[in-house]
């Protein structure tokens, strides 16, 4: 993952620990004060929320403990690799799209970040500027030309 991706996950984990988990405990206590727990929907919802918060915390702890952080600014070259920002030309429509290849946990298509595990990223990895690449995507087969590869 990239350093910004690691920071984003660490920030989310901190919020879960410092805000969401304590709030879940308070919500359970408040719901418990409303009486019979067997028919208390508020209590059951609070318990479910607490479980989801703890599950997400465990997941983030696991991901962060196993993450290999790679700073794209330290990379260079003309081949597509993790961390690269790639400008592609869709040959069927002449539209240009630009994506940064990031780890699965930090992918965000609207922000122009695609997972290294996505079909598009897997299809262009290892290719260089000027290469035409045919990629089978869920929406159909597309042909792209790699216009530019930058890092940082």
Contact residues for 7 (Cβ-Cβ < 8 A; gap 6+): none
* Pair (52, 108) in one structural domain: no
Distances from the Cα of 76 to the Cα of 70, 79, 82, 84, 129, angstroms:
12, 9, 11, 9, 13
Whether residue 38 is found in the same domain as residue 12: yes
Co-location of 54 and 94 in the same domain: no
- Residue 12 lies in domain: 3-66
Measured distance CA(51)–CA(125) in Å, rounded? 38
47, 76: one domain = no
Residues 56 and 96 grouped into a single domain: no
93 plus 47 within the same structural domain: no
Please tell me the distance from the alpha carbon of residue 59 to that of residue 18, in angstroms, as a whole number: 16
| Domain tally, the chain | 2
The 10s digit of each residue's pLDDT in 41-76 is 888 899 999 999 999 999 999 999 988 898 888 877
- What is the value of pTM for the model shown? 0.73
CATH number of the domain that 87 lies in? 3.10.50.30
Question: Do residues 88 and 99 touch, judged by C-beta distance below 8 A?
Answer: yes
Q: Render pLDDT for 73-104 as a digit per residue (tens, 0 to 9).
A: 887 788 899 999 999 999 989 899 999 999 99
* Phi/psi at 67 (5° precision): -70, 140
d(CA 4, CA 72): 10
Q: What is residue 76's predicted lDDT score, i.e. its pLDDT?
A: 78
Task: State the pairing for strand pair 113-115/95-102.
Answer: parallel
Q: At what angle do helices 41-66 and 3-15 cross, to 10 degrees?
A: 150
**Boundary of a domain, candidates 42, 66, 90:** 66
């Amino acid at each position: 993952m990239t350093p910004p991706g690691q920071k984003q996950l660490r920030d989310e984990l901190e919020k879960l620990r410092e805000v969401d988990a304590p709030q879940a405990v308070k919500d359970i206590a408040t719901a418990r004060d409303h009486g019979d727990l067997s028919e208390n929907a508020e209590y059951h919802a609070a318990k479910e929320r607490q479980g989801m918060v703890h599950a997400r915390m465990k997941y983030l702890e696991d991901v962060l403990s196993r993450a290999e952080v790679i700073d794209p600014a330290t990379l260079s070259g003309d081949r597509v690799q993790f961390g690269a920002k790639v400008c592609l030309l869709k040959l069927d429509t002449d539209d240009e799209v630009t994506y940064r290849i990031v780890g699965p946990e930090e992918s965000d298509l609207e922000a122009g970040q695609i997972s290294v595990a996505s079909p598009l990223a897997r299809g262009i990895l290892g290719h260089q500027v000027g290469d035409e690449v045919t990629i089978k995507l869920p929406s159909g087969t597309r042909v792209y030309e790699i216009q530019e590869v930058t890092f940082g």
